[in-house]
């Protein structure tokens, strides 16, 4: 197996040490970039990564193995069978300047007799090797997705200090956000109806809406009022065949819905969030296009209208002035 030196390749480019060209692209002389030949490493070399200790690890697809070899001396130091045909492998940081040479994962292909046939594309096999010592040791064999391909890994110690666990609702800059249940409302803009909805364990607000008409385009702007990490909410509305939403803590996302017939339609949270998850639902009533049903919305059957909201806002403002 030919091993090339990056420094020699760069030197050959700078000195224009070429053996010709193909379609105007210079071809470096083979010997000029060559570090050496790794003798009899295996059959079908596919992917190589490094451990930061002067060693490289290469998968061999045909001979079904991972081979450890010394980068400088080009000596094969160890080989371990993967029992199947390995494609890519991954060492945490294995393609960086500071590899973490403790573990290696070999991702194998064509392992159709290894796991139960659970679908058209079968689960494939992967193996975790301990590479901290002189010899590789297989410590775990586990299923992975079909056609496992190129991957990267880093240690948990690099991730944990940077995990964000609190999402301030005040930092939500979405123009359609409702940053509290008091801001939940429904507004009509011609044929567009915008529903400013909040989601929190365990209800949606508003949870009943009337006055939507055929030919309206309805935009549900869902703000997740949860601020703790890993408390997402989902949203779907009956008859929406294009998508559903997954709304992360402190986030606002929008779902467009086009009513397809008059009637009453359910909307609901699609991501389990608590023991009262089933309470996170509501209904929207769609009337004929020529209907005079006013736009109303509310929570727990306490409906309001745009006029009511204006009146309440004026009363609150007047109260502040008096105070």
Query: Cα 203 from chain centroid?
Result: 26
Give the per-residue pLDDT at 256.
95
By DSSP bridging, strand 185-189 and strand 137-144 are unpaired
Does the pLDDT value for residue 116 go beyond 90? no
The CA distances from residue 63 to 213, 267, 268, in Å, are 67, 55, 53
Q: How would DSSP label each residue in 242-280?
A: S--EEE-TT-EEEEEE---SSEEEEEE--S--STTGGG-
Q: pLDDT, tens digit, for every residue of 141-183? A: 999 887 788 889 998 998 999 999 999 999 999 999 999 999 9
Does the pLDDT value for residue 307 go beyond 90? no
Strand partners, 188: 193
Q: How would DSSP label each residue in 57-96?
A: EEEETTTTEEEEEETTT--EEEEEE-SSEEEEEE-TTTTS
Q: Could you state, in order of their start, the residue ranges of all structural domains in the chain?
A: 1-30, 38-162, 174-322
Percent of the chain with pLDDT over 70: 93
Mean pLDDT value across residues 253-263: 96
Q: pLDDT, tens digit, for every residue of 245-256? A: 999 999 999 999
Give the per-residue pLDDT at 169.
96
> Which range is least confidently modeled, 198-202, 257-261, 314-318?
314-318
CATH superfamily, domain 174-322, is Cupredoxins -  blue copper proteins (2.60.40.420)
Mean pLDDT value across residues 210-237: 96
Q: CB-based contacts of 42: which residues, under 8 Å, 6+ apart?
A: 58, 60, 62, 63, 65, 67, 79
Give the chain's mean pLDDT. 92
149 phi and psi, to 5 degrees? -125, -165
First to last CA, the chain: 85
In CATH, the architecture of 38-162 is: 7 Propeller (2.130)
Mean pLDDT value across residues 203-216: 96
Give the per-residue pLDDT at 301.
58
Give the per-residue pLDDT at 114.
83
Q: pLDDT, tens digit, for every residue of 78-98? A: 999 999 999 999 999 988 999
66 phi and psi, to 5 degrees? -110, 130
Maximum average pLDDT range among 111-115, 150-154, 214-218, 301-305: 214-218
Q: pLDDT, tens digit, for every residue of 5-64? A: 999 999 999 999 999 999 999 999 999 999 999 999 999 999 999 999 999 999 999 999
Does the pLDDT value for residue 230 go beyond 70? yes
Q: pLDDT, tens digit, for every residue of 272-295? A: 988 999 999 999 999 999 999 999
Contact indicator for 44, 29 with CB cutoff of 8 Å: no
| pLDDT bucket at 320, cuts 50 / 70 / 90 | low
**pTM exceeding the 0.75 threshold for the entire prediction:** no
Reported as half-sphere exposure (CB side, CA atoms, 13 A), residue 180 has a value of: 2
């Amino acid at each position: 197996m030919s091993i090339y030196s990056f420094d020699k390749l760069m030197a050959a480019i700078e000195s224009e040490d070429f053996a010709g060209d193909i379609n105007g692209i210079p071809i470096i002389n083979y010997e000029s970039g060559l570090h050496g030949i790794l003798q009899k490493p295996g059959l079908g070399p596919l992917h190589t990564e490094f451990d930061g200790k002067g060693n490289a690890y290469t998968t061999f697809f045909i001979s079904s193995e991972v081979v450890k070899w010394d980068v400088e001396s080009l000596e094969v130091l160890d080989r371990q069978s993967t029992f199947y045909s390995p494609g890519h492998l991954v060492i945490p940081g294995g393609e960086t300047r500071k590899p973490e040479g403790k573990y290696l994962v070999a991702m194998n292909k064509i392992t159709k007799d290894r796991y139960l046939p659970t679908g058209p594309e079968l689960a494939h096999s992967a193996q975790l090797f301990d590479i901290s010592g002189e010899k590789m040791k297989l410590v775990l064999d586990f299923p992975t997705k079909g056609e496992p391909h190129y991957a990267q890994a880093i240690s948990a110690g690099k991730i944990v200090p940077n995990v964000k666990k609190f999402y301030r609702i005040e930092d939500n800059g979405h123009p359609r956000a409702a940053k509290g249940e008091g801001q939940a409302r429904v507004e009509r803009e011609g044929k567009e109806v915008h529903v400013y909805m909040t989601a929190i364990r365990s209800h949606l607000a508003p949870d009943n809406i009337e006055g939507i008409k055929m030919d309206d385009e309805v935009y549900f702007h869902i703000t997740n009022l949860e601020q703790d990490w890993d408390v997402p909410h989902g949203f779907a509305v009956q008859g929406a065949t294009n998508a559903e939403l997954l709304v992360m803590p402190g986030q606002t996302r929008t779902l467009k819905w086009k009513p397809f017939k008059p009637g009453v339609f359910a909307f609901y949270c699609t991501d389990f969030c608590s023991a009262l998850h089933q309470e996170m639902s509501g209904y929207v009533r769609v009337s004929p296009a020529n209907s005079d049903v006013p736009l109303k919305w509310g929570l727990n059957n306490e409906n309001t209208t745009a006029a009511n909201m204006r009146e309440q806002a004026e009363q609150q403002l007047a109260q502040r002035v008096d105070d």
